[in-house]
Amino acid sequence: MAMNQRLMRPVASGPTYHPEALAWRTAALANGGTGITASTMQAVSDFCAAIDAAGIRSAFLRLNLVCGGNLAAARTPLYRGASPGGTQYGPVIDVNVGPLAEEDYTQATGLYFNGLSKYIDTGLTIGSLYSFGAGASDTHASVYLRTNDFGPHFGGQDYAGAYSNNAVALDAGSSGGFIADYAPVLRIGNVNYGEGEIFTAAAHALGHHLAMRSSDSAGVYLQAGTDVTGTITGYTAAFASADSTPLYFGATWSSTDNGSGPEPNPFLGRATLAAYSVGRIQGLSDSAGRVAFYNATQAFQTALGRAI
């Protein structure tokens, strides 16, 4: 610390932030982001420190906390790989499709998707997950849901293409939408044969939703910090590097025919979302890691005044 030569005591300096929080601010500003306050930086920094302390940083292929003073900042992801010095995946800013307008976002509320025309393309594919080292039985997806009319909320699913075994799609449940019993659904695997996990014990609710497929026949859903287990139905899937199925936020990409007729592409959700992540289940495969992720996320959302 610098010394005041006249008084011979340390000169006060500014706050010290986590290096990945500083890197996020630099990227957000380069993307045209504005309104990144000291309180926002502290919240991001505290989140990064909590993830590191829990030993789960390497689980994340991509994570966006949807924060900052404008849409460009909110579209800048915090994590783009397992570590800041390793391989980075996807673009430095999420792709705005529709497009989303500035009035669709405030830091106090999150990012509103209208269910008609607007969504985010993360720039990732199922092939990106394969390159990251994730397999069909080693993949998670999460969203932070603040308001919700209907899903889906994240991912992509291929009904009819070259990799029709494959999907990574999360619907956190609907208050009036497509899913039976309005229960959360994770689809990882052969969507042609009903591959999907319906967590019927987890009623539709707002807040943090984390879903993962942990084996060929089992998965876990963490809703508001509480685990609900379920059983996978269908067939084993195998990811491939050439699989170009896109992964969307606020929607899911879908091929045009599921065997029973045309599907909309993309499937669009109407909801307000305040974070997403996708990656492996390293460190999240045990309850302590999942709860640590929830606690870090909830503390961040609380700091921004938008926790559920």
- In CATH terms, is domain 57-303 a member of 2.60.120? yes
Task: Report the pLDDT averaged over residues 91-106.
Answer: 98
Q: What is d(CA 306, CA 308) in angstroms, rounded to the nearest whole number?
A: 7
Residues 6 or more apart whose CB falls under 8 angstroms from that of 102 comprise 70, 71
Mean pLDDT score across all residues of the chain: 86
Higher model confidence: residue 10 or residue 221? 221
Higher model confidence: residue 24 or residue 267? 24
> In the structure, what pLDDT confidence band is assigned to residue 1 with cuts at 50, 70 and 90?
very low
Q: Model-level pTM?
A: 0.90
Name which of 219, 220, 281 is nearest 56 in CA terms: 281
pLDDT higher than 60, residue 2 = no
> In the structure, what pLDDT confidence band is assigned to residue 178 with cuts at 50, 70 and 90?
very low
Model confidence pLDDT, tens digit, residues 188-227: 765 554 456 666 556 678 999 999 887 766 778 888 888 8
Q: Name the token pair of 109.
A: 């509320």
pLDDT higher than 80, residue 8 = no
Q: Tell me what pLDDT residue 200 has.
A: 59
pLDDT higher than 80, residue 175 = no
When mean pLDDT is compared across 117-131, 199-213, 222-236, the lowest value belongs to 222-236
pLDDT higher than 90, residue 232 = no
Q: Tell me what pLDDT residue 221 has.
A: 85
Q: What is d(CA 266, CA 65) in angstroms, rounded to the nearest whole number?
A: 23
Model confidence pLDDT, tens digit, residues 11-57: 556 789 999 999 999 999 999 999 999 999 999 999 999 999 999 99
Task: Report the pLDDT averaged over residues 121-143.
Answer: 94
Q: Tell me what pLDDT residue 179 has.
A: 42
Q: What is d(CA 248, CA 41) in angstroms, rounded to the nearest whole number?
A: 26
Task: Report the pLDDT averaged over residues 151-164.
Answer: 79
pLDDT higher than 80, residue 258 = no
Secondary structure element (H or E) that encloses residue 23, with its range: helix 19-30
Residues 6 or more apart whose CB falls under 8 angstroms from that of 5 comprise none
Q: Report percent pLDDT > 70 for the chain.
A: 80
Q: Tell me what pLDDT residue 181 has.
A: 44
User: Which residues is 273 bridged to in the sheet?
Assistant: 111, 145
Q: What is d(CA 280, CA 181) in angstroms, rounded to the nearest whole number?
A: 28
Q: What is d(CA 215, CA 66) in angstroms, rounded to the nearest whole number?
A: 30
pLDDT higher than 60, residue 95 = yes
Task: Report the pLDDT averaged over residues 110-130.
Answer: 97
> In the structure, what pLDDT confidence band is assigned to residue 5 with cuts at 50, 70 and 90?
low
